[in-house]
Amino acid sequence: MKLFWCPRTRSLRALWLLEELGVPYERVFIDIRDPGLTRDPEFKLASPMGKVPALADGEVRLADSAAIGLYVADRYPAAKLAPAIDNPMRGAYLWWMIYTPGVIEPAMAEKFSGIAPNRLSHGWGDFELMIETLENGVKDGPWLLGDKFSAADVLVGSSAYFMKQFGMLPQSKPIEAYIDRCIKRPAYERALVIDAKG
Ligand SMILES: N[C@@H](CCC(=O)N[C@@H](CS)C(=O)NCC(=O)O)C(=O)O
């Protein structure tokens, strides 16, 4: 597997995922601050929008951290990062996998940019509903699916931590405790070291 990555970006999520997965991979540095980044034709094939992270695995090419999470968790089931297709937890898993790109990030962007919320018509509700739902999802813990850590925790845990780092996280003991559990995972710690080394 080849991970198209740039330090201190959302590609940290993919690094964390691949470290949880335990399957060998190669990192390909894509400098997103360099306008010539799409010169790499392999990267362009995997990421039509020129965004990191992106992945190449055999003939498979894809971008977006949630899509990458869904793919690797199913493709490499030995890591047990996703409930099997016939497991009733699969519904909650898929819902939480989409929560980051579909709800957390748009709600954060809305708030950050000062766009007027519209809970009824915006697909992500609004920032307050997003936080309330997240808090309810993590309060029983330890993970979104109870005892089972999954790729959804990588997506949601990293997003919650981004919110905290950007100073956007309202006071919430359950979310803070969840973030602490996430960032104490050895795979997350390894990913941070790799990301920092460049
Ligand atoms: N939904 C995507 C977002 C990816 C994204 O926006 N990545 C940013 C870096 S954090 C990027 O590559 N920006 C460069 C650009 O848009 O040219 C994901 O979660 O992977």
Q: What is the pLDDT of residues 87-142, one digit of tens each?
A: 999 999 999 999 999 999 999 999 999 999 999 999 999 999 999 999 999 999 99
What is the atom index within ligand 1 of the atom nearest the CA of 67? 20
Question: Ligand 1: which of 51, 98, 99 to mutate, judged by most atoms within 8 Å of the beta carbon?
Answer: 51
Question: What is the amino acid identity at position 22?
Answer: G
pLDDT of 198 reads: 82
Residue 36 clears pLDDT 80, i.e. is over it: no
Asked if residue 27 has its Cβ within 6 Å of ligand 1, the reply is no
Query: Could you read off the pLDDT of 101-112 as tens digits, one per residue?
Result: 999 999 999 999
Please report, for residues 35, 44, 108, 175, 179, the alpha-carbon distance to residue 169 in angstroms, rounded to integers and kept in the order given: 32, 34, 10, 9, 11
Ligand 1 pocket check for 47: Cβ under 6 Å:
no
- Enter the pTM of the model: 0.97
- CATH annotation of 90-185: 1.20.1050.10
Regarding the beta carbon of 108 and ligand 1, being less than 6 Å apart is answered no
Return the pLDDT at 40.
Answer: 83
CA of 51 to the centre of ligand 1 (A): 4
Residues 155, 32: Cα–Cα separation, whole Å: 21
- Specify the residue with its C-alpha closest to ligand 1, atom 12: 51
Examine domains 2-80+187-197 and 90-185 and report if their fold is the same: no
Q: 2-80+187-197 architecture in CATH?
A: 3-Layer(aba) Sandwich (3.40)
Domain boundaries along the sequence of the chain: 2-80+187-197, 90-185
Name which residue sits closest to atom 5 of ligand 1, judged by CA: 51
Q: Residue 185 has what DSSP assignment?
A: S
Q: In this structure, what are the phi and psi dihedrals at residue 50, rounded to the nearest 5 degrees?
A: 70, 30
Give, in degrees to the nearest 5, the angle at Cα 21 between 19 and 24: 75
